[in-house]
Every structure is written in C-alpha cells, then in structure tokens.
C-alpha cells in the first residue's frame, strides 16, 4: 500500500468521524430544544446541509494540499540509476 493511499484513508476516516459527530451533536441539540417538530426538522435539515457543504470544502482543501506536497516531494527526489 502506498503512503499516499494510506494518508488519504486516514484523512477520509477523520472527516467521516467529524461529520458523524457534528450531525449527532446537532441532532441531539435540536431534539432537546423547546421548539415544535416542524421547526426542529427545518433547522436540522439546514444544519446538515451547511455542515455537508463545509466538510466538502475542507476535504477538497486537504486533498489539494496533499497533492501539492506529493508533487513537491516527487520533484525533489533524486533520480535513481538502475
């Protein structure tokens, strides 16, 4: 397994965990609020949409950063003679 593949899997696992935690936390907060069900469902839907957009943007930024680092490292490696 390549180092890039391993790093990508770790990052995706962290993002998935953070997303799930955020959704569970937001859901619990809304379900325990004094508002009616319709208002809570709308707030929950909006929060999930906002968090999803935010996580996608952050994931794209992280992937771009990783790709830049990989390009830097691969261009700085000395060529090996066979």
* 82 three-state secondary structure: coil
User: Across residues 20-38, what is the average pLDDT?
Assistant: 82
Distance, CA of 62 to CA of 32 (rounded, Å):
34
CA angle 66, 9, 7 (to 5 degrees): 40
Q: Label residue 77 by pLDDT band (50, 70, 90).
A: low
Distance, CA of 66 to CA of 50 (rounded, Å):
24
In a domain, 47, yes or no: yes
In a domain, 41, yes or no: yes
Residue 17 has pLDDT above 80, yes or no: yes
Q: Label residue 79 by pLDDT band (50, 70, 90).
A: low
In a domain, 25, yes or no: yes
Structural domain span for residue 33: 7-64
In a domain, 27, yes or no: yes
In a domain, 56, yes or no: yes
Tell me if the pTM is above 0.75.
Answer: no
Domain count for the chain: 1
Q: Are the beta carbons of 49 and 22 closer than 8 angstroms? A: no
User: To the nearest whole number, what is the mean pLDDT of the chain?
Assistant: 80
């Amino acid at each position: 397994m390549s180092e890039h593949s391993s790093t990508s899997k770790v990052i995706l696992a962290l993002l998935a965990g953070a997303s799930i935690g955020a959704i569970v936390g937001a859901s619990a907060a809304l379900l325990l609020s004094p508002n009616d069900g319709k208002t809570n469902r709308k707030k929950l839907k909006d929060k999930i949409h906002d968090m999803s957009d935010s996580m996608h943007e952050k994931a794209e930024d992280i992937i771009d950063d990783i790709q830049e680092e990989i390009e830097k490292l691969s261009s700085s490696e000395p060529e090996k003679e066979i």
